[in-house]
Structure 1
Amino acid sequence: MAKIPTSAGRDRVRKTAPALVAYTEGVLYGDLWERPGLSKRDRSLITVAALVATYRPEQLETHIGRALDNGVTREEIAELVTHLAFYAGWPAGMTGARVATTVFENRDA
């Protein structure tokens, strides 16, 4: 099993919902993300797209960072967000762009 990176978000809720965190680390990141059918890069693109389309900015920030770590470029994230603005709605696209900007700025700091 791959080493699961730490997460401040998971650590914050670990005491409140330990089973949820255990499923997140064991099943979601431990099993699903390690399946051989898709690369981690492709899984990141899919996850970021789903989070933009379903308007989940709180989780989007973490997953944009993970996508960058998995080899997705800033340009690809920008294209993904722009493309989804037409399919998922302008507010979702603009929120995705705002979150991506925050992630990029934090990485440049």
Structure 2
Amino acid sequence: MTDEQPSGAEKAFGDFAPALVDLTDEVLFGQVWERPELAKRDRSLITVASLLTSGSTEQLVFHLARAKENGVTEAELIEAITHLAFYAGWPKAMSAMAVAKHVFRDQ
């Protein structure tokens, strides 16, 4: 047992879906996000774009905050969402912008 705080996945699903938690923590964030071929900043922009285009707004809360931690500015994220409105669809962009407003202004 380590002294580390439980991950978000562990908090959400640790006793319900431990295999998913392990894959999330060890493979996705432990291996994929750590690959040197892309900077974490770039991975964050790609992830936000992917979540927006798929309509996965509930995951945007975490990933917009993570993008800021990885050096993407709020202005850049707002511009990315605005840009994606023309490629992913207006409703998806409006939903994503509502999440961004909540993450950047209301928390």
**TM value normalised by structure 1:** 0.89
Residues 86-105 of structure 1 correspond to what in structure 2 (within 5 A)? Answer: 86-105=86-105
| 1:96–1:4 distance in 2 versus 1, CA, 3 Å | farther
* 1:6 corresponding residue in structure 2: 7
Percent identity between matched residues is 51
Residue of structure 2 equivalent to 1:32 = 32
What SS class does the counterpart of residue 103 from structure 2 fall into? helix
User: Is residue 54 of structure 1 aligned with residue 72 of structure 2?
Assistant: no
Query: Alpha carbons of 1:21 and 1:102: their partners in 2 closer, same or farther (altered >3 Å)?
Result: same
Once the two structures are superposed, what CA deviation does each residue of 1:34-72 show, in whole Å capped at 9, x if it has no partner? 000000000000000000111001101100000000000
Question: Structure 2 vs 1, CA of residues 66 and 5 (structure 1 numbering), >3 Å: closer, same or farther?
Answer: farther
Change (3 A) 1:99 1:10: farther
What are the ranges of 5 or more consecutive residues in structure 2 without an aligned counterpart? none
TM-score, normalised on structure 2? 0.91
- Look up the match of 1:23: 23
Aligned partner of 2:78 in structure 1 is 78
What is the CA distance between 1:14 and its match in structure 2? 1.2
Q: Gapped runs of 5+ residues in structure 1?
A: none
Determine the C-alpha separation between the residues in 1 that align with 2:6 and 2:43. 16
Aligned length: 104
For residues 40 and 26 of structure 2, the distance between their equivalents in structure 1, rounded to whole angstroms, comes to 16
